[in-house]
Structures are given as C-alpha cells and as structure tokens.
C-alpha cells in the first residue's frame, strides 16, 4: 500500500438545478391528499430534471426501494409503492394543470 497513488481529474461539470417550488408543493400536497408520507431530499445524482429545469418547471419524485437499495441490480420497489408513486404523479399533474391553465 505504500506504492499506491491516486489522481483525480474533473472530466465534466454539471451545475445543480433547483427544483420548482410550484412542482415540489404540488407533489407534497398530493402526498398529503393521498395520506402518504413525504420528505424533501437533496439529490446529487444527474437526472433529466437538470435539463428540464432549464426550460420548464421541474421536480423529482422518489419512491421507496426495499432496504434503500437503488441504482443496483438488487434494487426492488414494491408494486404498491409504484402505484402510490404513479398516483402522486397523476394528482400532481392534475393540480399543476389547474394552476397553469
């Protein structure tokens, strides 16, 4: 281990993309209406929302994965959590559509 060295080089730079307060509030309201818990999270991963946020209001919704495992072949999300996530998206979009029209 004495002969080990490490060089770190920044090959790309991606700037953070704040999510839209309007979208985040719609998601949180949908969770409340559906009697589901919610919490705000910071995500340091790259997501499509970074690109979308440059041209339109954006937000992200994360659904629970068993044992917190994600981005891994062992990732598993229970069907009821996927249904809950889809319902949150639906209710959020309906609320946003009503506010944006």
CATH number at residue 71: 1.10.150.900
Burial class (CB in 10 A: 0-12, 13-18, 19+), 26: buried
Residue 61, domain extent: 21-100
Asked whether residue 14 is domain-assigned, the answer is: no
Asked whether residue 44 is domain-assigned, the answer is: yes
Tokens of 8: 């770190």
Q: What CA–CA distance (Å, rounded) separates 59 from 37? A: 17
> Are the C-beta atoms of residues 45 and 80 closer than 8 Å to each other?
no
- pLDDT for 11: 77
Calculate mean pLDDT across residues 4-31.
89
- pLDDT for 100: 60
Asked whether residue 48 is domain-assigned, the answer is: yes
Asked whether residue 16 is domain-assigned, the answer is: no
Asked whether residue 51 is domain-assigned, the answer is: yes
Number of domains composing the chain = 1
Q: What CA–CA distance (Å, rounded) separates 3 from 13? A: 30
Average pLDDT in the chain: 90
Calculate mean pLDDT across residues 65-90.
96
Asked whether residue 9 is domain-assigned, the answer is: no
């Amino acid at each position: 281990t004495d002969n080990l060295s490490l060089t770190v080089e920044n090959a790309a730079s991606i700037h953070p993309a704040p999510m839209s307060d309007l979208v985040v509030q719609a998601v949180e309201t949908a969770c409340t209406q559906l009697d589901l818990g919610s919490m705000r999270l910071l995500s340091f991963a790259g997501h499509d929302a970074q690109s979308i946020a440059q041209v339109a209001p954006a937000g992200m919704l994360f659904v629970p994965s068993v044992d917190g495992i994600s981005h891994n072949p062992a990732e598993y999300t229970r069907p009821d959590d996927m249904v809950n996530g889809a319902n949150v998206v639906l209710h959020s979009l309906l609320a946003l559509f009503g506010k944006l029209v």
